[in-house]
């Protein structure tokens, strides 16, 4: 097992580094959601983060960790979604190029976000409808060869993980003695960073990863004690279809108390409930953690809980409920 | 012309009265919206207010202005929408009954909101599909006769207007020297209260009412110098279909600098833009003020602007754009 070498101090340094660039997102509360969950719940609104997603934290941390000499060569990542937009934004903030290996089938809204933030899209050549990891990596490697750009992995990267963990520092700063903190888990960057911080600063807080039943590799890996790759994930939670990496798996194994799974129906219901009660847009990946509390997958009754709403990037032309004139 | 007898002091007293019950809603900003509007814009998020709408301010002020003896008899109002929910919430907070005269054709989501907040619905008998003002008033009068409940008008009521004006106190507290403040205008309670406060405290701020072209009674009344009733409003902005009352007209005539109108297409486009950029739900009525800035109906270029996002209660099953699986 790899040793991730990331400490609370690493996360604190990341927070100082990115503080001037990211939003300190609000904690929201709702009496009616408290009643539904029989708990005292705060929602950390990373959907209101820059680029609409917590990934801005890791992306800004990675970009501003580069030396000036490194930075001039730009950054490169593979992503069909949020990482693509977040890294483009961070790179444009520093005035350096971002190269994004994207699948040709990426949603138009995601492609537009990358272009708006000035990212350079390189289409991934693939035999199937969706590129394999190998095809993504081949494209990213080719970009690196050509540009000498610095690779920034969406989750399996110390700078990324430390950046995502800064979210937990802000929660703890405002709410002490939480019984539970819930975060969605896809590649595991957010959960790894958050669990590291809570184990260092909030030893009595149980850290729970929340995952779709239809993409439960993190849950199975956690229980097996080794990485079990994702098989054909068909969840609506498009941000959670990836498998854990070795760094994120190692941190999650050490610091997370449990990983629970929820159904697709519960995800969609939780997403709509948050829209209707908090009046904010969350994407399906964020709704996974809300669903875990609503469905009592975690014994939250009578407890204090923080739920991380990871992002708000949704395709308004393709909502998972009947919605038309 | 009636004299409304509402001063800055009235609004300040209202703010003290309701402060423990309402949310102090955030001011949000967006770099991309600033770029689109060529202005420095803050959004006052009354969509994140309790009951999802600024009307909670006026409703709580009215309910908590009652003496204990008056309060025991409850409150009564006529509304198919936001006022119904807001007054039910405020009444339940004080532990008194709220009687709501609602049309049988009211949206299920609105009916459910009233029930959730414990309001007593009395269906308005009407000959046509939508009740006339006379039919609403007949039902409300019958409830008053039977219950001796205290009527609380949705906008043409001093307590309501003073409550809505508290929103402006919070804006001014955080942002001095605004060039413009934009608010939607339907019955005029919000615009009347807000304009009163800005004329007292922010003499250099131009206060602009924003209205759908398809329901432009306030604009026509403002220009004519007398109340021109609404004729068959067909706007998507369901909160803005009402006509001004004598109190709101009088205050608006004195304190508002201009009223501008926008097209239905611009309203829908602005609504979607706010959802996508700020990641918050706003209802079409709120989008009217955003559209006015986007469409350059007001010379906001290079100026500091506050736009009041009045509410976030939308029917997710009936969105004004293509949205389906």
Name the minimum distance, in Å, from the CA of A325 to any CA of chain B.
5
Q: Tally the domains of chain A.
A: 2
Q: Do B321 and A319 touch (CB under 8 A)?
A: no
Measured distance CA(B307)–CA(A321) in Å, rounded:
31
Residue A20, burial from CB neighbour count under 10 angstroms (0-12, 13-18, 19+): exposed
Catalytic residue among B78, B221, B243, B310: B310
**Rounded to an integer, what distance in angstroms lies between the CA atom of residue A270 and that of residue A288?**
8
A318/B321 CB distance under 8 A: no
Q: Domain containing A17: what range? A: 8-53+157-309
Q: Cβ contacts (< 8 Å) between B276 and chain A: which residues? A: 316
Strand segments (E) across chain A: 27-28, 40-45, 75-78, 98-103, 120-124, 150-151, 180-184, 206-212, 258-262, 304-309
Neighbours of A108 (CB within 10 A): 9
Three-state SS for B77?
strand
In this model, does residue B71 exceed pLDDT 90? yes
Residue A146 confidence (pLDDT): 94
**Which residues 133-172 on chain A approach chain B with CB closer than 8 angstroms?**
none
**Model confidence band, residue B129 (pLDDT cutoffs 50, 70, 90):** confident
Q: What mean pLDDT comes out for the span B111-118?
A: 92
Last residue of a domain, one of B151, B186, B206: B151
In a shared domain, residues A262 and A168: yes
**Nearest-CA neighbor of A226 among A242, A250, A210?**
A250
Predicted pLDDT of residue B104: 87
Give the closest residue to B83 by CA, choosing from B123, B53, B121.
B53
Q: Please tell me the predicted confidence (pLDDT) of residue A190.
A: 98
Mean pLDDT within B40-55: 97
Nearest to A269 by CA among A252, A248, A284, A249: A284
Taking only the tens place, the pLDDT of each residue in A26-73 is: 999 999 999 999 999 999 999 999 999 999 999 999 999 999 999 999
B5 Ramachandran zone, left/alpha/beta (phi>0; psi -120 to 50):
left
The pLDDT value recorded for residue A122 is 94
One domain for residues B46 and B173: yes
| Cα of B275 to nearest chain A Cα, Å | 7
Of A100, A125, A151, which residue is a domain's last? A151
Let me know if residue B179 belongs to a domain: yes
Q: Does A48 touch chain B (CB under 8 A)?
A: yes
User: Does residue B98 sit in the same domain as residue B209?
Assistant: no
Q: Which of B151, B179, B206 is the last residue of a domain?
A: B151
Rounded CA-CA distance B192/B156 in Å is 10
Q: Is B188's pLDDT higher than 70?
A: yes
End-to-end CA distance of chain B: 54
For A215-272, how does the pLDDT look when each residue is reduced to its tens digit (9 = 90+)?
999 999 999 999 998 888 889 998 898 889 999 999 999 999 999 999 999 999 999 9
Structure tokens given for A280: 């904010």
What is the layout of strands, in order, in the sheet containing A180-184? A27-28, A40-45, A304-309, A180-184, A206-212, A258-262
Query: Residues B51-83, buried b or exposed e (16+ Cβ, 10 A)?
Result: bbbbbbbbbbbbbbbbeeeebeebbbbbbbbbb
Does B281 lie in the same domain as B168?
A: yes
- Give the Cα separation of A40 and B154 in Å (integer): 33
* A161 and A257 assigned to the same domain: yes
Instruction: Report whether A293 contacts A61 (CB < 8 A).
Output: no
Q: What is the percentage of chain B residues whose pLDDT exceeds 90?
A: 82
Percent of chain B with pLDDT over 70: 98
pLDDT on residue A230: 82
Q: Tell me the chain A residues in contact with residue B28 when contact means C-beta distances shorter than 8 Å.
A: 48
- At residue A156, the pLDDT reads 95
- Mean pLDDT for chain B? 94
Interchain pair A323, B320: CB under 8 A: no
Q: Quick one: A164 and A122 in the same domain?
A: no
Confidence band of B325 (pLDDT split at 50, 70, 90)? very low
Please check whether residue A119 is in contact with residue A88, taking contact to mean a CB–CB distance below 8 angstroms. yes
What is the reported pLDDT for A325?
Answer: 39
Q: Are the beta carbons of B258 and B183 closer than 8 angstroms?
A: no
Instruction: Give percent above pLDDT 70 in chain A.
Output: 98
Say yes or no: A49 and A63 in one domain.
Answer: no
CB-based contact A37:A300 (threshold 8 Å): yes
Closest chain A C-alpha to B86 CA, distance in angstroms: 14
> Which CATH number do you get for residue B294?
3.40.50.1100
Is any Cβ of chain A less than 8 angstroms from the Cβ of B316? yes
Confidence band (pLDDT; 50, 70, 90) for B202? confident
Q: Which residue has the higher pLDDT, B207 or A2?
A: B207
Q: What percent of chain A stands above pLDDT 90? A: 82
The one catalytic residue among B44, B55, B110, B199: B55
Q: Is the pLDDT of residue A77 over 50?
A: yes
Q: Is residue B137 domain-shared with residue B16, that is, in the same domain?
A: no
Contact criterion met (CB below 8 Å) for A286 and A258: no
Identify whether the C-beta of residue B323 lies closer than 8 Å to the C-beta of residue B272.
no
Residue A315 in domain = no
Contacts with B, A 228-287, CB within 8 Å = 272, 275-276, 278-281
d(CA A16, CA A25): 15
Q: Burial letters for B270-288: b for 16+ Cβ neighbours within 10 Å, e otherwise?
A: bbbbbbbebbbbbbbbbbb
Check residue A324 and give its pLDDT.
47
What's CA B233's distance to the chain center, in Å?
17
**What distance in Å separates the CA atoms of residue A124 and residue B104, rounded to the nearest whole number?**
55
Q: Using CB atoms, which residue from A26, A32, A320 is nearest to B26? A: A26
Please report whether residue A317 resides in a domain.
no
B3 belongs to a structural domain: no
Does one domain contain both B123 and B24?
no
Question: Do residue A280 and residue B279 have CB atoms under 8 angstroms apart?
Answer: yes
Same domain for B172 and B207?
Answer: yes
pLDDT at residue A1 is higher than 70: no
Distance CA A4, CA A288 (A): 27
CA distance B71 to B75: 8
Q: Which of B54, B299, B306 is nearest to B176 (CA)?
A: B306
B77-95 per-position pLDDT tens digit: 998 789 999 999 999 999 9
Phi, psi of A255 (to 5 degrees): -115, -15
Within-domain flag for B102: yes
Q: Are residues A14 and A110 in the same domain?
A: no
Q: What is the pLDDT of residue B130?
A: 75
Does one domain contain both A161 and A253? yes
Q: What is the per-residue DSSP string for B98-142?
A: EEEEEETT--HHHHHHHHHTT-EEEEEP-SSSS--HHHHHHHHHH
Residue B88 lies in a domain: yes
Domain presence at residue A109: yes
Check CB contact under 8 Å for A316 and B52: no
Contact B135, B126 (CB under 8 A): yes
The beta-carbon neighbor of B316 closest among A52, A276, A317 is A276
Q: What is the ipTM of this complex?
A: 0.92
Asked whether residue B324 is domain-assigned, the answer is: no
Give pLDDT, residue A264.
Answer: 97
């Amino acid at each position: 097992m790899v040793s991730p070498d990331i400490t609370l101090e690493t996360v604190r340094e990341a927070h100082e580094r990115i503080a001037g660039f990211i939003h300190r997102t609000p904690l929201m509360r709702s009496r009616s959601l408290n009643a539904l969950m029989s708990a005292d719940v705060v929602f950390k609104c990373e959907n209101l983060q820059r680029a609409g997603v917590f990934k801005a934290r890791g992306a800004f941390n990675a970009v501003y960790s580069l030396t000036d000499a490194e930075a001039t060569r730009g950054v490169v990542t593979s992503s069909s979604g949020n990482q693509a937009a977040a890294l483009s934004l961070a790179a444009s903030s520093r005035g350096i190029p971002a190269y994004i290996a994207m699948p040709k089938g990426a949603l138009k809204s995601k492609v537009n976000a990358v272009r708006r933030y000035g990212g350079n899209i390189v289409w991934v050549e693939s035999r199937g409808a969706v590129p394999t990891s190998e095809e993504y990596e081949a494209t990213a490697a080719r970009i690196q060869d050509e540009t000498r750009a610095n690779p920034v992995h969406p989750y399996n990267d110390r700078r990324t993980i430390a950046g995502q963990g800064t979210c937990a520092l802000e929660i703890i700063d405002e709410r002490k003695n939480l019984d539970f903190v819930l975060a969605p888990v896809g590649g595991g960057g957010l959960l790894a960073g958050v669990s590291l911080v809570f184990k260092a600063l909030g030893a009595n807080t149980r850290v729970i990863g929340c995952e779709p039943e239809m993409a439960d590799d993190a849950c199975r890996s956690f229980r097996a004690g080794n990485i079990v790759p994702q098989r054909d994930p068909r969840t609506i939670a498009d941000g959670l279809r990836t498998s854990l990496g070795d760094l994120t798996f190692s941190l999650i194994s050490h610091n997370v108390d449990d990983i629970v799974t929820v159904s697709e129906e519960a995800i969609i219901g939780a997403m709509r409930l948050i829209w209707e009660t908090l009046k904010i847009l969350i994407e399906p990946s964020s709704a996974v953690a809300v669903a875990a509390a609503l469905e009592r997958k975690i014994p939250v009754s009578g407890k204090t809980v923080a739920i991380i709403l990871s992002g708000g990037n949704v395709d308004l032309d393709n909502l998972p409920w009947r919605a038309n004139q």
